[in-house]
Amino acid sequence: MIEEQGGPPTGTLYIVATPIGNLEDMTYRAVRTLGEVDLVAAEDTRHSRKLFAHFGIKKPLVSYHDHNERQRQNMLVERLQNGENIALISDAGTPCIADPGYRLIASCYDAGIRVVPIPGPSATITALSAAGVGTDRFAFEGYLPQKTKARKDLFRQLNGEQRTLVFYEAPHRLSATLSDMVEIFGSERQIVVARELTKLHEQFLRGSAAELLQRFAQDPKLKKGEFVVLIDNSATSEDATLDGDDIGMLEILLDEVSVKMAVKIAMRLTGKKKNEIYQQALRLREARELESEN
């Protein structure tokens, strides 16, 4: 049965996670809750009807997505205040993770309405759990910008980040994104591309940014489906960082030779890892370019 609570006779908003691919990942609690609420707010009602048909759920659906979130919010809160129980679901996975819904939840708390999470699948956590990357610290950045400049600007901001980075990306932009990663993070940065999670053709493609860029270029069939892209910074965080003398030496080298040669010489002189030196060389070069523009 749906959980009851004391206090005013308001309804409860349930945040219900649904499968990201394999329908067997639907929890008993999620099926029961969706079958007992008075209304389900769904990102795409057509998609959700297929899910409901599979599990024999017969409840009214109302659309709740990015384009009507503000209009629907007041109506849903009013119905909750009148004692109805409502479930919020997204097309796949856990609602409100790179999906609409947080405004509705905030409004419920403001109105004294109970909010109950019904946990389940999440593409972010699923990818992290099986990617073989550092997971003690990670940053989820959601969907990447569609435009190249905005995407590169974001990568520059994140360059030097020591946590594992997690992104969602569309198949038709994957090659461009990997190319940008090679440029900003370096060709040797370790990347994992998780493809079609929990589905028949699930894959975890691991390698350097340059290797994965080449692999996706050689096999266009890989660029089908849904993707979670992870940048493994665990090795970077373990490397000894460059000190002031190292950076000063690198600046002098960049005055005389190419980035590639400067990195090679600096590696021999300092004994530091290639990736750390290369990333610092790129930052120094970028700073010089900005100074020249000004």
Its CATH class, for the domain covering 124-237, is alpha beta
Continuous H helices in the chain: 28-36, 45-55, 69-81, 102-110, 123-130, 148-158, 174-185, 209-218, 234-238, 244-256, 259-270, 274-293
Burial of 1: CB neighbours in 10 Å, binned 0-12, 13-18, 19+: exposed
The overall average pLDDT reported for the chain is: 90
pLDDT in tens, 193-245: 999 999 999 999 999 999 999 999 999 889 899 999 999 987 655 444 667 78
Instruction: Please state the domain extents for the chain.
Output: 12-121, 124-237, 239-293
Residue 13 Cα to chain centre, angstroms: 25
Its CATH class, for the domain covering 12-121, is alpha beta
Average pLDDT value for residue range 84-111: 95
Q: Residue 8 pLDDT > 70, yes or no?
A: no
Average pLDDT value for residue range 104-121: 97
What was the pLDDT predicted at 7? 53
What was the pLDDT predicted at 16? 98
Alpha carbons 241 and 58: distance in angstroms, whole number:
58
Average pLDDT value for residue range 51-70: 94
